[in-house]
Amino acid sequence: MSFVSKKPEQVRELLASDEGWTFIDVRTVQEFEQGHVPDSHNLPVVFRGSFGMSPNPAFVEVVERCFAKNSKLILGCAAGGRSARACELLAQQGYGDLINMEGGFHGARSPYGELIVPGWQECGYDVATDAGAERTFAALQKKAESLS
């Protein structure tokens, strides 16, 4: 495993520092639009379709074209599973400074629905609903295509 997991309070501290961390939300566009970590980029690792979730075949390519391999990236999703998978995919491509936000945006729960790790929103941190045009999946995908 070439990434570490950190709780939302640790992620918040890193994002507030001037160490140059970038937050990538790997949830679907619809999930992202309902609320996300402020100043985050949306780059879904999977898409929701009529048959459930399916991998985004362009995920790694778009990340590679938009973020240098030496970028300091924090990845988050709803509960921490998809972002852990995204970290694995990026680590395989040579990204070294990767953090998975444990608990994600909504929090990780046990099979019984009990909160195990509070997420960003559960912690009461600021939530944004507007990403700015350059941080949306559509904009990142367009940027990646223009750099082809």
Catalytically annotated residues? 77
Strand, coil or helix: 100: strand
DSSP states of 26-82: -S-HHHHHH-B-TT-EE--SEEEETTEEEE-TTHHHHHHHHS-TT-EEEEE-SSSHH
Give 25's DSSP letter: E
End-to-end CA distance of the chain: 30
CB 7 within 8 A of CB 103: yes
